[in-house]
Each structure stands twice: as structure tokens, then as C-alpha cells.
Amino acid sequence: MLFGRTVRCDLLAMNTNKIGLVFGVLLLLSAVGENRVRASIHEYTNEAFNPRFNSFFFHGGSEGLYASKNLEPPKTSPTDDNGKPLNGNSFIRFESITFKRPKEIAEKQNEMQQSTGVVEALIVEVKDSDKIGRAYMNSNAICCNPTLSKEGFCKVGEVIIREDPENPGWPKRLQTSFEGNSEEAKMELQTIYINKTGMYYLYFVVCDPQLKGTLITGRTVWRNPEGYLPGKMAPLMTFYGLMSLAYLVLGLLWFLRFVQHWKDIIQLHYQITAVISLGMCEMALWYFEYANLNATGSRPFGITLWAVTFSAIKKTFSRLLLLVVSMGYGVTRPTLGGITAKVVLLGFVYFLASEALELVEHLGNINDLSGKARLYLVLPVALLDAFFIVWIFSSLSKTLEKLQIRRSMAKLELYRKFTNALAVSVLLSVAWIGYELYFNASDPLSELWRRAWIITAFWTLLSFTLLVFICILLSPSHNPTRYAYETGDDDEEGLSLTGVGVIAAGELGSKVDRKDHVFGLAVEDLEEDKRE
């Protein structure tokens, strides 16, 4: 952004270099990065099993899945280009799953023996988690032991499972055996259809202590009836589509107002236009990113990267817009003076922090990011947001005080409305953060996954609502004196905001009408005063 005459050229060069650097990095990442990043297709590459009680287990993924439209899986089902059955079915498909045990363990086995070790794949709906392992019979064991086997509850070497009487065959158990002294065991290509809506977890479990050190390679494909988007993300595709239309409507209305009063445009209006344009691009990119993910099961690296970047840029510009308006830019001061560099630096740091968080959250599997890893990225963004809020309200306090001293009642009223809107948005944000913390704390297993999309949607709606309010307050008008900077009211020198450039001394005589607007003495306004 260009805030003042004295630093205008330097800032333009600095911002151009930074923008060029950012987009250069993006192009480089697009060129050397993977063509697609997996999302609802969970890939495993030599992943190790972790010890848990008397077993070794590996978490294969978890997603919200809606029940298949066809309650009975069809015998011959249409398939997509990759041979995956579709026809409105919801399923989990095991593809190229291979288990590899240590060589020294395999060599000890009898090569003529049919089964020398078993790996089990368990698919369990979160509400049925009490039917697995240690939750059964108040035992801490996941795998069956000789005592429980004698009582007829289970078989030694298998996971303890109590089937759901209302849903026979669930939780689902799939077994893969090592044969003889082979190091590898390959799981059959299988598709498990989902006939009940819920949050599903996939675990691979080994009960045989001799299989310690076993590794898993392959992938599983998770699909809902309408596409590959996980259930908790599916509503966001529709939401982003609607928000794209909302930004388009706002942009058209703003553009019409902009053209209608183009002679009275101030620098602040260009920055509002930039925020609207960025928001429009951001929503459109997210919609196409989700639509592609829903159709293919993979995230296209390029689209996701640009969507994340536009999101980070838009967030940064939005916060900077609020900050400079709060400082009185365009109302009580023509430039930001000596603090311009600080504002730009804060914006650049916020962009980097926000970009890093968004990249790690979206360029990977849906549930790849651990809580601790995410905390390290969320914390800097949260601290910078808090710093923005403190600086914004501190600046608003000074601006309101200055307007009261000058007794600029129209501008004072405008800024009071702006302050009230910001205060309400901050209170809503704090309340929503509290709700979000409660939501996550009370739902550790994601049982409320069908409402999870609202958490993300709220912030987008709040940002859009605040932008609409700013557009209404600071919309272009035939009488820009309600927010235009009044010459002589401030000691700082800077670029006049009522025109595109500085009016030269020799041109003042030919532009008296513009000057009259600047000083609030437009003939139209004087005539209205006389009539009153």
C-alpha cells in the first residue's frame, strides 16, 4: 500500500519486490511440487506400528461418511476412470496394502506353514468404540489372551470385538496372513460399503508379539455418496460457492458506486476495492479446490497453493485496512507518516505466519497435522491478531479524541459507528473462540463432525459482514467531505486524498470545485444549508 508522499516511491519499490518474491516462490513451488496432494486418499509409506497395551497398532485414517444411497451394494456397479465403484455408494477401499515384517523374524518361520502371523484391519464407527478391545469386559487388553479365550469371548491372537446386534458384521474385521517364511503379506483389493452415517476410524492391529517391527505400505480410498470430500468438509464446497456469489454482488455494487462518483474517489476506496477483489478470488479458488477434491479425491497442488496464498493475502489486507482506517487515514491525516514502515512490516510478518499455517493445514492428508504441530503455527497468528486488535482500538481512541477536539460531528458519528461495529465483531470473535474451544474439548472423537464446517464458515461470514459495513460507511459519494481529509487540520505533509495526484499550484484556479469539496464548502452543500 502507498500511504504517504514522502515514502511513496520507496514503498512502491519495496512492495513490488516483495510481491515479486512471493509470486516467484509460488511459481517455483508449483513447478517442483507434487502434481497432486492426497486428501481423502490416505497413503502409507513404510509406516511403523505403535505399541498399545498388548498390541501394536497403526491409525489408518478417520473421516465422516454418509450412508450409501443404495443400502445393498450392487453386484455390478458403475466405476470411475480408476475402477472405483460409484453409483451413489459410500465406501472405504483398500488398495495395494502390503505388510512387511523383519527379515530375522520371517526366517524363523516354517515355510510350509499356511499362516505364520496375522494383521487385522478394523473399521469402527466412533459410537461403537466401546465394542473394541480394552473397553470390553473392563479389560485393558486390546488383543485376546488365553483367559478370555477359555471363556469363549474371543480367539487368541485376534482383537477383542463385540459385534453390534443392530448392525451385524460391524465393527468390521479384515485379516491378512503371512504365509510360511515370507517377509511380505499383501492385503486383497477390497471395498467396504458404508450403510450407516457416522465418523469412521480405521486401525491396523497386530496381536502377535513376533510381528513387532512390521511396516505398512499402500493406500485407502474414502468416498461419500456425492464425492470424495470428507463429510465434515462437504458443506464447505456449497458455502464457498455461495460466498463467491456474495462477493461478486458486493463487487458489482461497489463498482457501480465507484464509477458513479469516480471524480470524488479517495485513496482509501482503492484499498477497499483491493480487499473485495481478493475476497472474490479467494472464495472462487476455494470453491474450485473443493470441487476438484470432491471429484478426484486429491488436492491439485497448484490450485490449493494459490487458494491458500490468496487467503493469506486477503486476511493481511483486511487487517491492514482496518488498522489504517482506525488511524484516521483519509479522515484526520493524509498519510501515515513515520509509522508506514511499521505497518507494512507487521502486514508482511502476518502474511508469512498465516501462509505457513494455511499451507501445512491444506497441503496434506485431512488428519495429518498433529495437535502440537498445529499449535506451533496457530500461536504466532493468534498473537499477531491480538496485536492488531490492540493497535486498532488504541488508534481508534486517538482518532475519536482528535475528532472531538475539532468538533467534526459528521466524521465523529461515522467513526463511532465504525468503533461500535468493530467492538461487536471482537465480542463475537471472543465468544466464538470460546465456543470453538468448548466444541473441540467436548468432542475429542469428532462425533459432531456434521457441524464442524460451521467453525470455518463463521470467520468467513464475520469478515464479509464487516467488509460490507465498511463499504456502506465509506462508500463513494458526491459529498466526500464526510470523510475526506481537511487541509490544515493536521501538521503532517502528505498526498491529498481527494485526487489521484498532488494538485500543482498553477492548476488551482482551474480546479476550484475540487478545492471547495476539500474544504467542505461545495456550493451544493451551502444551498442546502440556506434552505434549512
Could you read off the pLDDT of 297-348 as tens digits, one per residue?
877 788 888 999 999 999 999 999 899 888 887 666 767 777 888 999 999 9
Task: Phi first, then psi: give them for residue 123, nearest 5 degrees.
Answer: -115, 120
Mean pLDDT score of the chain:
78
For position 507, what pLDDT does the model report?
A: 35
Q: How far apart are CA 208 and CA 158, in angstroms?
A: 9
Task: Tell me the fold of 41-71+87-223.
Answer: Jelly Rolls (2.60.120)
Confidence of residue 86 (pLDDT cuts 50, 70, 90): low
pTM: 0.75
For position 156, what pLDDT does the model report?
A: 85
Query: Is the per-residue pLDDT at 357 higher than 50?
Result: yes
Residue 512 half-sphere exposure toward CB, CA atoms < 13 A: 3
Query: Is the per-residue pLDDT at 477 higher than 60?
Result: yes
What is the mean predicted confidence (pLDDT) over 217-231? 91
What is the mean predicted confidence (pLDDT) over 101-106? 91
For position 483, what pLDDT does the model report?
A: 53
Asked which of 174-178, 255-259, 265-269 is least confident by mean pLDDT, the reply is 265-269
Asked which of 81-90, 218-227, 326-335, 342-351 is least confident by mean pLDDT, the reply is 81-90
For position 201, what pLDDT does the model report?
A: 94
For position 133, what pLDDT does the model report?
A: 77
What is the mean predicted confidence (pLDDT) over 454-477? 91
Query: Is the per-residue pLDDT at 490 higher than 70?
Result: no
Q: How far apart are CA 357 and CA 362, in angstroms?
A: 9
If one counts every other C-beta atom within 10 angstroms of the C-beta of residue 28, the result is: 10
Q: How far apart are CA 145 and CA 154, in angstroms?
A: 8
For position 528, what pLDDT does the model report?
A: 39
Q: Which of 160, 53, 47 shows the shortest CA–CA distance to 99? A: 47
Distant-in-sequence, close-in-space partners of 146: CB < 8 Å, separation ≥ 6: 156
For position 520, what pLDDT does the model report?
A: 33
Query: Is the per-residue pLDDT at 178 higher than 70?
Result: yes
Which residues are 64's β-sheet partners? 199
Query: Is the per-residue pLDDT at 472 higher than 80?
Result: yes
The grid coordinates listed for 249 are: 454482488
Q: What share of the chain has pLDDT > 70, as a percent?
A: 75
For position 134, what pLDDT does the model report?
A: 62
Asked which of 132-141, 151-160, 197-206, 403-412 is least confident by mean pLDDT, the reply is 132-141
Asked which of 10-24, 43-57, 108-122, 280-294 is least confident by mean pLDDT, the reply is 10-24
Burial of 480 (0-12, 13-18, 19+ CB in 10 A): buried
Query: Is the per-residue pLDDT at 480 higher than 60?
Result: no
Which residue type, as a one-letter code, is found at position 361?
A: E
**Candidate ranges 71-75, 156-160, 425-429; pick with highest mean pLDDT:** 425-429
If one counts every other C-beta atom within 10 angstroms of the C-beta of residue 22, the result is: 17
Q: Which of 226, 217, 125 shows the shortest CA–CA distance to 447? A: 125
What is the mean predicted confidence (pLDDT) over 490-504? 34
Stronger pLDDT, 440 or 329, i.e. the higher one: 440
CB 86 within 8 A of CB 96: no
Query: What 3-state DSSP class applies to 39?
Result: coil
Query: Is the per-residue pLDDT at 493 higher than 70?
Result: no
Domain boundaries, given as residue ranges, for the chain: 41-71+87-223, 231-480
Confidence of residue 450 (pLDDT cuts 50, 70, 90): very high
The grid coordinates listed for 424 are: 461487536
Burial of 276 (0-12, 13-18, 19+ CB in 10 A): buried
For position 8, what pLDDT does the model report?
A: 35
For position 370, what pLDDT does the model report?
A: 46
CA angle 42, 45, 46 (to 5 degrees): 135
Task: Phi first, then psi: give them for residue 284, nearest 5 degrees.
Answer: -65, -45
In CATH, the number for domain 231-480 is 1.20.1070.10
Confidence of residue 40 (pLDDT cuts 50, 70, 90): confident
Asked which of 21-30, 90-99, 284-293, 316-325 is least confident by mean pLDDT, the reply is 21-30
